[in-house]
Amino acid sequence: MAEYLSNSSSLKVPLLPEREDDKVGHAIDDSHSNTVSSIRTCFNGLNAISGVGILSVPYALASGGWLSLGLLFGIAAVAFYTGTLIKKCMDTNSNLRTYPDIGELAFGKIGRLIISVSMYTELYLVSIGFLILEGDNLSNIFPIGELHIAGLAISEKQLFVILVALIILPTVWLDNLSLLSYVSATGVFASFVIILSITWTATFDGVGFHQKGTLVNWNGIPTAVSLYAFCYCAHPVFPTLYNSMANKHHFFNVLLVCFFLATAGYASMAIIGYLMFGAKVESQVTLNLPLNKVSSQLAVYITLMNPISKFALMATPIINALKDLLPRKYKNRGTSILISTVLVISTVIVALTIPFFGDLMSLVGAFLSVTASVMLPCLCYLKISGIYKKFGCEAVLIVAIIIAAIAMGISGTYTSLKEIIHHM
C-alpha cells in the first residue's frame, strides 16, 4: 500500500496552495526528471501496490469464501481502470503533477482538500496498523506475559507497541529520508520472500495444504471486499510515476504489468494461506506460522522489519502538511520535532485503544481506499473530460463503478466499525 511514498513527492504539498494566485501544480516540487525507463517505472509501480495487504488476503479469502476470490480480480480490474482514468486526466493539462492537482483541476480547492485529507487520513491509519502489526507479531514471538510497571498492568502486546514506537520516533525527526527511502523500497522483494517462505513452510515443514474452506460466506463478503480494496490503494502515486517516465505512451502497459503481477501475488498468498489454515487463519497470516521453523521465522522477521523503515515515510507527509498550516514564524526545527513526536504519540494511543489489525485495515480499505482509488478518479475524470454531458457507454460504466463503490464503502465501513466496537 503506502510503500509508494518512497517514490513520491506528491504528498509533501500543502492541503491547498499557499497563495491565492497559485496555478495548478505550481506548489509542487517535482523531484523526478522525465528520464525514468518503463522497466524502472514498472518496478516502482509494483513496489507501490505490493504492501502489508499481502498478510491479510488469506483472512479476506477466509472471510468471504472461495467465490470471493473473484471479487479480488474484479477489484483489481476496476483499480487498473481507474488508474488509466488518472492518466487520462493527466493528459488534459501539462501542469498537473500530483493527485491533489487533479482534484483541484476538477473541483477547485475543495477537490484538492478532499483528496489530500483522504490521503493523509489513510496514511495515518496505516501507520497505526503498522504499530499493531508489530505488537501482534512480537508478542507472538516473545510471549512474556503481563507486566506491572508503576502500578499499571501492561500486556505484552501493549509493551511491544510502545517499544517499537520509541525505536521509530528518531526516524520521524530526520530531515533527510533518502536512506529510509532506499530501505523501504523493498516491497516487491519482501512480498516475494514472504510468499516463498510461507509456501516452503507448508510444503516442506509439515503444515501442508489440508484445509478445504467454504465456497461462500455471505456475511463475510463486506470484510473480504474491504481488505481486497486495501491492497490496491497506490493511486496517489500514479501521477508522479507518470510524470517521471521518459516515454509516457508506455504508462498503460506499465500499469497493466504492475496490476497483473501484484494480483498474481495477492491471489497466490490468499490461496496458500487459506489452504494451510482454513477458517482459523489470523488477520495476519504470520501469526499462524510455526515459529520453530526457519522458513516461518524468515517470513515473520521480514514482516517486522518493513514497518519500522516505512513508518517515517508515511508520517512525514502528514507532518509537512501540519507544518504548512502554521504561521511562518513557527516553522522551525523545534516545531517540526514537536509535531513529529505528538503524531507518533497519537498513533500509539490509537493502536493501544483499537489493537485490531484486520478490522482497522478493513476500515481503511472500505472508507478510504475505495474513495481514493475508485470513486475520486471516476468523479474527477467525469468532470475534467466532460463525458457526463454525453452519457455514452464510458459514462454509464463509470457511473456504475461509482454506485458499486458507494455500496462497497458503506457496507464495508459499517461492518468494520461494527467489528471494532464489538471487539472493544
Closest CA to 323 of 147, 206, 175, 211: 175
Predicted local confidence at residue 5, as pLDDT: 40
Residue 75's Cβ-side half-sphere holds a number of Cα atoms within 13 Å equal to 30
Mean pLDDT, residues 23-44: 58
pLDDT recorded at residue 31: 41
pLDDT reading at 14 higher than 80:
no
Q: At what angle do helices 251-277 and 187-204 cross, to 10 degrees?
A: 30
Read out DSSP for 380-393?
A: HHHHHH-GGGT--H
In the DSSP assignment, the letter for residue 212 is: -
- pLDDT averaged over every residue in the chain: 85
**Residue 325: pLDDT above 90?**
no
Identity of the residue numbered 237: V
In order of 31, 100, 219, 401, 403, the CA distances from 396 in angstroms are: 38, 25, 29, 9, 11
Residue range 49-92, pLDDT digits in tens: 887 889 999 999 999 999 999 999 999 999 999 999 999 999 99
**Which one is predicted more confidently, 31 or 87?**
87
What three-state secondary structure class fits 245? strand
Q: Which of 414, 424, 1 is nearest to 223 (CA)?
A: 414
Q: What is the pLDDT of residues 135-155, one digit of tens each?
A: 999 998 888 877 777 777 788
| Separation between Cα atoms, residue 422 and residue 424, nearest integer Å | 5
Homologous superfamily, domain 2-423 = Amino acid/polyamine transporter I (1.20.1740.10)
DSSP state, residue 121: H
% of the chain residues with pLDDT over 90: 50
Reply yes or no on whether the pLDDT at 270 is more than 60. Answer: yes
